[in-house]
Homo-oligomer: A and B are copies of this chain.
Amino acid sequence: MAASKSRVARTEPGPVTLQHVADTAGVSRATASRVLNGSSRIVGSELAERVMRAARDLRYVSNAPAQALARSRTTVVGMIVHAVDDPYFAAIAAGAMRVAAEHDLLTMLANTFRDPEREIDYVARLRAHRALGLVLVGSGFTDPELTERLSEQLTDFVETGGRVALVRHQSLPFDTVLPENRRGAAQAAELLLALGHRKIGILSGPDGLSTIEHRLAGFRDTLRAAGADVPDDAIVTADFTRDGGYAGMLELDQRHPELTAVFALNDPTAVGAMAALREEIGKSVPQDVSVIGFDDVPTAQDVTPALTTVRLPLEEMGERAMRLLLEPSDRSPRTIRIKADLVVRQSTTSVT
């Protein structure tokens, strides 16, 4: 009976438990627990030493799920992004993970592949894991039903003690890091206008993402105010990737060969567009057509011509979001506005 609970010799397989450590150190589980993870209670140095030696000899590794259950809290944060291999998300994730690591937290990263259902599902699963907080990165979806369900999940989570931080534009009542997409896109439009462009096309992204709507709106509104609206069929929906930009540019050029400038809603799309222009369409950037992107991912400066774009401090955004999560405030929801800066490089020039 007692043997099954307090076996002294460890012959059977399976992980070493606290009990094993306690037994070989000749103390109770309580004592072992107290020395192995800084409890408030202090254990005599002699016993403490014995316990630590036993733990080391047995190669004890604590059981985090068991601890989580007993303490009813974990040291895990969840993060949900649309695609880790997109430099936009990668940079934000890196920033967030850095501050998580500083606080000694582990990060569970989930990829939605831009599927709203998966996003909601991941929120639920991360909640199940009792993550102490969730960072959602990326555009919100404009579908009200999806937004509603997501919001509900998040609200429940907060009500049961969870924390939430968003990096996205969406009017959910949680701490948010909010990039000024609209204003940034407006700056892009202003630049093109100043350069004399009037025939402008747009490479947009998947429908239903709020980020896209805002960038689109900021851009078009500015153009419209100047009497240079973009006709609907000069807006091509790409899929927000390099290859999507390539294909989208082909289509756009076919429909409107007269365009003198193209605004891509993110950098990879812009890079793809430039490739299509160069390799297939045979127009040169910026002489024949100016291209402007958004985000300023690291490679934007290395393509040729270097990409004019709207810069967002990606890593910092990730950091800020994680800090919001880790330093809760009583007067949430808070919003941190991140301003977007136009970075003029070589892919834009004035119309001749």
Task: Provide a sorted-by-A list of 19 A–B residue pairs whose CB atoms are within 8 angstroms.
Answer: A59-B156, A61-B128, A64-B65, A64-B128, A64-B130, A65-B68, A65-B74, A65-B130, A85-B87, A85-B315, A87-B90, A101-B111, A106-B129, A107-B110, A271-B302, A274-B302, A275-B302, A299-B303, A304-B304
Interface hub of A84, A97, A106, A126 (most chain B Cβ within 10 A): A84
Using an 8 Å CB-CB cutoff, how does the interface string of A90-134 with B read, 1 for contact, 0 for none? 110110011001000011111101000010000011111110000
Does A14 have its Cβ within 8 Å of any Cβ on chain B? yes
Does A206 have its Cβ within 8 Å of any Cβ on chain B? no
Does A69 have its Cβ within 8 Å of any Cβ on chain B? yes
- Which residues of A come within 8 Å of B, CB atoms? 13-16, 59, 61-66, 68-69, 74, 76, 83-85, 87, 90-91, 93-94, 97-98, 101, 106-111, 113, 118, 124-130, 156, 159-161, 242, 271, 274-275, 298-299, 301-304, 315
State whether B14 touches A160 (Cβ < 8 A): yes
State whether B14 touches A63 (Cβ < 8 A): no
Query: A75 — nearest CB in chain B belongs to which residue?
Result: B125
| Cβ 8 A contact of A84, one of B94, B124, B274, B301 | B94
Query: A95 — nearest CB in chain B belongs to which residue?
Result: B85
- A62 CB contacts on chain B under 8 angstroms: 128
Bound form: Cα–Cα A299–B159 in Å: 44
- A302 CB contacts on chain B under 8 angstroms: 242, 271, 274-275, 299, 303
Query: A59 — nearest CB in chain B belongs to which residue?
Result: B156
State whether A87 touches B84 (Cβ < 8 A): no
| Cβ 8 A contact of A90, one of B90, B125, B161, B275 | B90
- A129 CB contacts on chain B under 8 angstroms: 64-65, 76, 106
Report the minimal beta-carbon distance from A105 to chain B, rounded to whole angstroms: 10
- Contacts A106-B129, A108-B109, A111-B98; is A124 near B61 (CB within 8 Å)? yes
